Structure 1
Amino acid sequence: MNDFSEFRCGFKPLFGALVGAGCGITSIMFYTHGTFVVAISENTEWSRGEVQFAFTIMSLMALFTAPSVGWMVDRFGPRSVALVSLVGFFIGCLTLSLTGTNLIYYYTGWAVLAVLGAGTLPITWTTLINKWFTINRGLALGITLSGTGIAASVAPSYASWLITQYDWQTAYLLLGATSTAIALPMVYLFFHYPIAVTKTNYDQGNTPDLSEIGLSLKEAVSGYKFWILSISIICVSGSIAGLITNIVPLLTDKSLSVIEASGYTGLIGISVIIGRLGIGYLMDRIWAPLIAAIFLTLPAIGAMMLVNIELQPLLLSISIILIGLAAGAEIDLFAYLSSRYFGLKNYGVIYGIIFMIFSVSAGIAPAVFGFSFDRYGSYDFIFSVAAILSLMGGLSMLLLGAYPQFDLSADNNELEV
C-alpha cells in the first residue's frame, strides 16, 4: 500500500493542522509545564504538588470542554473553532501571566485557559484530517500530531530561556503570544474542508462521503470496544503524562540545572516526532492494536530505568526516548482507532469523549506524581506504579479485535454482519 496521491490534494490543510497542533494548548502547556514547576515552586511558597495541580484543573475542565469542542466541530466546522480558540489561547496565557503569587488566581488562570483554548485540542485538527485522508489516514494523523513533537523539542528550552530572562509570569505571556502569532495565519490560509462527494454521487457509482458513515454516540458507548479503549487510555495516558511532567524535577533533584534538565526533555520532542510518523505509517499497513501494544508498553521500561540508573547520559537519554516514543504514539492511536472502530459520522463528539477521558487521566497524573514526591521524598514509588499501568494499558489494546465493516450503501450506516 504505497498510494500517496491523497497528499497531493491534502498537503495544505495537513500543514495547517501540523502548525495548529504544535501551537495548541495540548502541546505548549503540557510540554513546558515541567519547566515551569521548578521555577514557580522556587519563586513562591507552593509545593510541587500544588503547582502540578494546576495542570490537573485544566485537564479536568476537559470533562466539559472536550465533548463541547467535539459538538462544535461537528456543528460549525473545525476551521472556525480553531481560529477562535487560537485567539482564546493567547487570552488565556495573558490571564495566567497576571495571576501573581496567589495560588487561587493561578488556578483560575488555568481554568480560563482551558475554556478559551479548548478548540486547539487534537479533536479539531484530527477531525478535518480524517476527512481529507482515507488510505493514508494513519500517516496523515502522524504528520499532523508531530507538531506536538516539534513543540516538545523547542518549547521547554524556549520557556526556560524566557523564565531566565524575565520571570515565569512574563514567560507565560510571551509563550502564548508566540504560539498564536505562528499558528493563526497558517490555520487561516491552509486549514479548510475538502469538497465532499454527495450521496447522490455515491448512488451514481462514485466513492461515498465517508464523513457520513459510522456509529452514533449511543451505539459506540454501548459496545465493549469503546470501554477497552477507554481503560487503556486511563492507564497509559496517566503514566506518560506523569512521567513527562516530572522528568525535569527528577533531574534537578539529581543535581542538574533546570536548563540542563530541559535540554534532556528536548529528546522527548524528537522521539515524539519519530513515534508519530513511524506509528502513522505502520497503522496504515499493520493491525493498529498490535502497534499500540508495542509502543504503549515502552514507558514501563523507561520509568524503571529512571528509577534505577545514575546520571549516565546514554542510559538517561534512552529512558527518555522510550517515554517520548509512547507519547508520540498515544494521541495518534486514539484518533485513528476512534475513526476505524466508530466511523466518521459522529467522530467529533465520540472522539471528544475519548479525548475527555485522556485529558482527565493525563491531567490528574502530574499532581498525583507531585503529591507522591511530597509524601515519600522521591519519585521511586510513583514511577514504579506508572510502569505497571503502562504495561497493562498497552497489552489491553490487543482485546479490540478486527476493524468493523460498515455498510456503505445503507442510510442508517449500520455494521455489516
Structure 2
Amino acid sequence: MKKRSFKEFKFGWPVILSSTFGIGLGMSPLPFYTIGVFAIPLTKNFGWDMGTVMGGITVFTIVALFASPLVGYVADKIGARKTALWSLFLFGLSFIAFNFNTGSTVLYYSLWGILAIAGAGTLPMTWTRAINNWFNENRGLALGLSLLGTGLFGALAKLYAFSLINTVGWKLAYLGVGLLPLLIALPLAYFFFRDTDDPKVADKVAKMRKTVTNPTKTNKAGMTVSQALKDWRFWILAFCFILISFAVGGPIPNLERMLSSKGFEVSDAVVLASIIGYAVLVGRLVGGYLLDRFWAPAVAFFLLSIPALSCYLLQSADLTYANALIAVIILGFGAGVEYDLMAYLVSRYFGMKNYAAIYGFLYGFFAMGAGFGPVIFGKFFANTGSYDTILGYAMIAFIVGSVPLLLLGKYREFHAEPLESEKV
C-alpha cells in the first residue's frame, strides 16, 4: 500500500469544515432523520397513519428527482459557493414553514415539495464538487470527513427534535430545527467555502499545487452530462444506488416504530435509532480511508453487502437490545459509505466538467430508493403489523445492489487545459 502525504489538508481544511456543517445541516440528513420523531405528534394530533406522514418523503423524493440535476447544472455554471449559500438560506426557511401545518395533507405535502426545491443546493453534489477539486491523493478521506455531518448531525438532530417536541411542542420544534442551517451552516459557508477557481484563493491554490505531490490541476476536465448518460457505467451506478438507497433509506426513518413493534419502549427506541448517526460517522471515516488505498468498487461491494446482516437481525421475533444495537450499528455503517462513494465514483469515472449535474442525476436515482423506501416499509407495517417481510426484501437488495459495482473497471483519466487562475 502506497504511503500517502496529508499536506492537502493544510490547504483544504476550510472547505472540509464548511462542507461538514453544510451537508450535515442540509437536505440530506435533517428531513430523513427527524421525520420519524415528528411522526409521533403528527399522527397523534391529526389522526394520520404512518403511511400519510411518510408520504411526505415520497413527495420530497419525486421533486428532488427533478430538482437535483437542475441545481447540479446550476452549480456547474455559477459555482458551488453561490449555489450552496442561497440553498442553505432557503432550506432553513422552508423547514421552519412546517410550523404552519394545520393538518391539511395538501399543505403538508406542498411543504415537502418546496423543501426539496429549496434545499437541493445543500446536497453533497455541491459541496463535494469543491472537495474533489481541493483533494486528489486523499480524496476519499476528505470526502468522508466532509460527509461526517450526515451522521453526526443526523443523530443530534433526532435527539434535539425529540427534546424540543417534549418541551415546547412540535410546532416550535420545527422552528428550532430550521434555524440550524441558518445560524450555523450558512455563516461557516460564507467565510470558508470556496472552490479552487475562486479568485480570492488563487494564491493559496497556486502554493498548494507547488507543495503537494500529484495535486489536481484543473476542475474542468471530464465528461458532459450527455456523454455520461450514454455510458453504461452510469446506468450500473443508477441501478445499484436505487437498490442500496432503498435498503438503507427504508429502515432508518422507521426505526423508532420498528423497534417499538418488537417490544421496546419509545425512549429506548429513540436512543437506539439515534446511534445510527454515530455508526454513519465511523462508516464515513473508514470508507473514505479505504477508498484512497484500494479499488473503490471492491470497497463498496464489501461495505454495502454487510448491512444485509442487520436486516436479518431485525427480523428476529425475540429481538434483544444487544442484537438491535448491532443491527443499527451495521446499518449505519453501510449508510456511511453511500454518499462519499457516489462522490468518489463520479469524480473518478466521469471527471469534474459536469460533476454536479451528473451527481445530481445519480442522486435522483438514489432519492427514488431512499424516498420510496420509508413509505413502502410503512405500508408493509400498516398492512401486516410487522416489518419482517420488507426487511427480507431489503436484505436481498443489499446483495443485488452491491455486486454489479465490481463491473466498473479501472478509473478513467481526464485531461483538459487549465484555466489561467489554475495554472502554476
**TM-score of the alignment, normalized to the shorter chain, above 0.5:** yes
- Give the unaligned 5+ runs of structure 2: 420-424
CA contact (8 A) 1:23 1:179 kept: yes
Question: Residue type matched to 1:240 in 2?
Answer: V
CA contact (8 A) 2:57 2:371 kept: yes
Pairs within 5 Å for 1:316-327: 316-327=324-335
CA contact (8 A) 2:262 2:317 kept: no
Counterpart residue number, 1:186: 188
2:306 and 2:103 map into 1 onto residues whose CA distance is 38
1:207, distance to aligned residue in structure 2 (A): 6.8
2:391 is equivalent to residue 389 of structure 1 = no
- Identity, in percent, stands at 39
Counterpart residue number, 1:64: 66
1:405 and 1:79 map into 2 onto residues whose CA distance is 26
2:233 is equivalent to residue 231 of structure 1 = no
1:76 and 1:100 map into 2 onto residues whose CA distance is 38
Pairs within 5 Å for 1:189-228: 189-194=191-196, 195=201, 209-228=217-236
1:142-176 per-position Cα deviation (integer Å, ceiling 9, x unaligned): 00001111112211111111111122222112111
Question: Residue type matched to 1:131 in 2?
Answer: N
CA contact (8 A) 1:208 1:408 kept: no
One of 162, 166, 169 as aligned partner of 2:168: 166
1:410, distance to aligned residue in structure 2 (A): 11
- Cα gap change, 1:410 to 1:110, in 2 (>3 Å): closer
1:292, distance to aligned residue in structure 2 (A): 0.4
Pairs within 5 Å for 1:362-377: 362-377=370-385
- Give the unaligned 5+ runs of structure 1: 412-417
* Paired residue total: 406
1:319-358 per-position Cα deviation (integer Å, ceiling 9, x unaligned): 0011000100001101100100001111011111011111
- Higher mean Cα deviation, 184-193 or 279-288? 184-193
One of 288, 292, 296 as aligned partner of 2:296: 288
Q: Pairwise CA RMSD of aligned residues?
A: 2.0
User: Normalising by structure 2, what TM-score?
Assistant: 0.92
Pairs within 5 Å for 1:228-307: 228-307=236-315
- Cα gap change, 1:257 to 1:211, in 2 (>3 Å): same
CA contact (8 A) 1:31 1:151 kept: no
Question: Residue type matched to 1:78 in 2?
Answer: A
1:323 and 1:252 map into 2 onto residues whose CA distance is 18
Counterpart residue number, 1:31: 33
Counterpart residue number, 1:129: 131
1:408, distance to aligned residue in structure 2 (A): 5.3
Counterpart residue number, 1:415: none
1:190, distance to aligned residue in structure 2 (A): 0.6
1:309, distance to aligned residue in structure 2 (A): 5.2
- Cα gap change, 1:271 to 1:170, in 2 (>3 Å): same
1:208, distance to aligned residue in structure 2 (A): 6.6
Counterpart residue number, 1:142: 144
Counterpart residue number, 2:359: 351
1:61 counterpart SS class:
helix
Question: Residue type matched to 1:243 in 2?
Answer: P
Question: Residue type matched to 1:263 in 2?
Answer: V
Counterpart residue number, 1:341: 349
CA contact (8 A) 1:25 1:89 kept: yes
Counterpart residue number, 2:409: 401
- Higher mean Cα deviation, 38-47 or 128-137? 38-47
Stretches (4+) displaced over 4 A: 195-198, 407-411
1:231 counterpart SS class:
helix
2:164 and 2:19 map into 1 onto residues whose CA distance is 26
2:417 and 2:81 map into 1 onto residues whose CA distance is 29
Question: Residue type matched to 1:147 in 2?
Answer: G
User: Normalising by structure 1, what TM-score?
Assistant: 0.93
